Chain A
């Protein structure tokens, strides 16, 4: 895979060097293969769709996207990012799925003074004290979905909640986010093993603890394992399961199906958000890929729209950091994204709405994540206060 991409990258480079300088070259480093490859593919599909609908031009410039696959290995990611920046000489970079890869490649990006547009991972260490003018998130700060979930559990009047997350930094951040907005009793805060297969022991304890609500941040395969086993154990009739949108969007729905009915999740986006840009996005995505988009696809699509808007507003002056950053910061208020408009905080993170979605069947019998309420309005990053950029 990597070798093929290397070859492809080299071929593209040769093809490009002959062309006029007046074009946009975007480096897209993402996790495209391996167990977690589904997420990267979803982001890429969303990004590609926006590019296609714009006629292959972002910001009115002919656009080339050079893809690279980090395979969820931070070292590989670092090497590929160096290649994108130094050999391919891209104008912008985007695409990273996972926070650990993001943190590993970040010094390389910042050093080369190239803007990074985050379509997913926005780790708190890049938005608080470590904020940078070259980092721009078009997705969400890492803790926001969990804060939304905590606020939802609070608003539902759940007296106590049981929390479970994998034992790694993002798991701890997730539960910290949840606890920031949830004021009820925490029955237990359980950190399970990363990539755990069997959750029967944890489920037995949850049943014995009889909590009102269960918050589970178990991304990827862990979430699928957990939800299947949670339902098979009959716990869905006893405890309300709440998850962030990463654990329960259409990629998981396709793998689990009916057992997911009755769950709630939180997201910065929903397929049924009522605005023209979203209806266009959802319809075009289904036409192109024959499936309902996930929140990841929306993030990829939106990242492309933000780039389009910013390059257009900066009149193509990507090399002028001041002008381009000014255009970027204004782009979320000008671009027509499926999420609607939002304001970008000085630390490069969105101040936006978060929704609660219910897993229900639509009229055609498909299982969808339907928006039921707006739980946080104009919600920003908790760590923005530590960023020195104003």
Chain B
């Protein structure tokens, strides 16, 4: 195999990882800081993508639709937090799972009623629909380069916000000891609503960025949410850095497995068996990775709290 193909697959892995990071970042914030298992994270991702598709259609512009979708989803997220999720913080995780699973079902049917049951259209902005030539003669989808850029920008922005700003300090204080933070005068209620709204906006960003290369349809969130959970479990719950590293690991291992395992297997297995075994093993690779990480570091790679 050529060097170009190897580089392309490596880039694909990083790109897929950053796709997952967009979703995992919001999930890990909510999970880590609010100690809340929010299965409905995928629903916010779906709703973000639907808002995006609608606003793009309404305004005729991808770049005008994007901020509108982020704001609309953040408002919806805040409303969800204030009306329902707030009541679940004190409960055990099973209750949270059940309640937010109900939110998934309600969200799916609500989207079906509002937008219909068939997938809707969301395409890349003009100018980013085709491939570009990278150095070395590599043809790469220009829109995927945008996803890489946005993923890196979000990672940097979140990292700086959480570690270097006053808000970030409050967030960290709320995460590590809720009662103490309240005693010190932090308005935890408002802080959590804000964190959840930001998480929802991140969902919308993920939905809006991934919509042009994935199907925008009812239930689109559940599929990708599983991967996002794998990412934050590997990375360490609540840690932005962990989500970033976990995403890249999952992206590279999954893509690498799909790209190289069939080839590797065909070197020492008969072709029939190799073409069957390669993809099969590749599809479980990230779970093997997760099991391995959990065995050696049960808290994940970068645990947020001691």
**Cβ-based interface call for A205 (8 A):** yes
**Chain B residues whose CB sits within 8 angstroms of the CB of A251 once the complex forms:** 118-119
Q: Are B218 and A197 closer than 8 Å at their CB atoms?
A: no
Q: Are A234 and B218 closer than 8 Å at their CB atoms?
A: no
**Chain B residues whose CB sits within 8 angstroms of the CB of A231 once the complex forms:** 129-130
Q: How many residues of B contact A (CB 8 A)?
A: 52
Q: Known: A35-B220, A37-B112, A252-B119. Is A232-B143 also a contact (CB below 8 A)?
A: yes
Partner of B212, one of A195, A228, A233: A228
Q: Known: A229-B141, A232-B213, A233-B139. Is A205-B259 also a contact (CB below 8 A)?
A: yes
Complex Cα spacing A198 to B121, Å: 18
Cβ-closest chain A residue relative to B259: A201
Q: Known: A193-B283, A224-B119. Is A200-B15 also a contact (CB below 8 A)?
A: yes
**Cβ-based interface call for A256 (8 A):** yes
Complex Cα spacing A167 to B12, Å: 22
State how many angstroms separate the Cβ of A289 from the closest Cβ of chain B. Answer: 10
Cβ-closest chain A residue relative to B122: A255
Q: Known: A38-B118, A255-B118. Is A232-B141 also a contact (CB below 8 A)?
A: yes
State how many angstroms separate the Cβ of A33 from the closest Cβ of chain B. Answer: 7
Segment with Cβ contacts to B, from A19-27, A183-191, A272-280: A183-191
Binary CB contact string for chain B from 106 to 141 against chain A (1 if under 8 A, 0 otherwise): 001100100001111101100001110000000111
Q: Are B215 and A221 closer than 8 Å at their CB atoms?
A: yes
State how many angstroms separate the Cβ of A238 from the closest Cβ of chain B. Answer: 9
Q: Are B213 and A229 closer than 8 Å at their CB atoms?
A: yes
**Cβ-based interface call for B219 (8 A):** yes
Complex Cα spacing A167 to B262, Å: 14
Q: Are B259 and A257 closer than 8 Å at their CB atoms?
A: no
Query: How many contacts between A and B, using CB within 8 angstroms?
Result: 141
**Cβ-based interface call for B279 (8 A):** yes
Q: How many residues of A contact B (CB 8 A)?
A: 45
Interface of B is mostly: helix
**Cβ-based interface call for B54 (8 A):** no
Q: Are B214 and A228 closer than 8 Å at their CB atoms?
A: yes
**Chain A residues whose CB sits within 8 angstroms of the CB of B140 once the complex forms:** 233
Complex Cα spacing A220 to B117, Å: 12
Cβ-closest chain A residue relative to B1: A208
**Cβ-based interface call for B258 (8 A):** yes
Q: Are B218 and A228 closer than 8 Å at their CB atoms?
A: no
Cβ-closest chain B residue relative to A42: B118
Binary CB contact string for chain A from 176 to 217 against chain B (1 if under 8 A, 0 otherwise): 000000000000111111010110111011011000000000
Q: Are A208 and B2 closer than 8 Å at their CB atoms?
A: yes
Q: Are A201 and B258 closer than 8 Å at their CB atoms?
A: yes
Complex Cα spacing A37 to B255, Å: 30
Cβ-closest chain A residue relative to B276: A191
**Chain B residues whose CB sits within 8 angstroms of the CB of A191 once the complex forms:** 275-276, 279-280
**Cβ-based interface call for A299 (8 A):** no
Cβ-closest chain B residue relative to A252: B119
Cβ-closest chain A residue relative to B223: A195
**Chain B residues whose CB sits within 8 angstroms of the CB of A188 once the complex forms:** 275
Interface residues of chain A, those whose CB is within 8 Å of chain B, are 1, 32-35, 37-38, 41-42, 167, 188-193, 195, 197-198, 200-202, 204-205, 207-208, 220-222, 224-225, 228-229, 231-234, 251-252, 254-259
Given A1-B109, A37-B112, A197-B224; 15 other pairs, CB 8 A cutoff = A32-B117, A33-B108, A191-B280, A197-B223, A198-B19, A204-B12, A221-B119, A221-B215, A228-B215, A232-B141, A232-B142, A255-B118, A255-B215, A256-B121, A256-B123
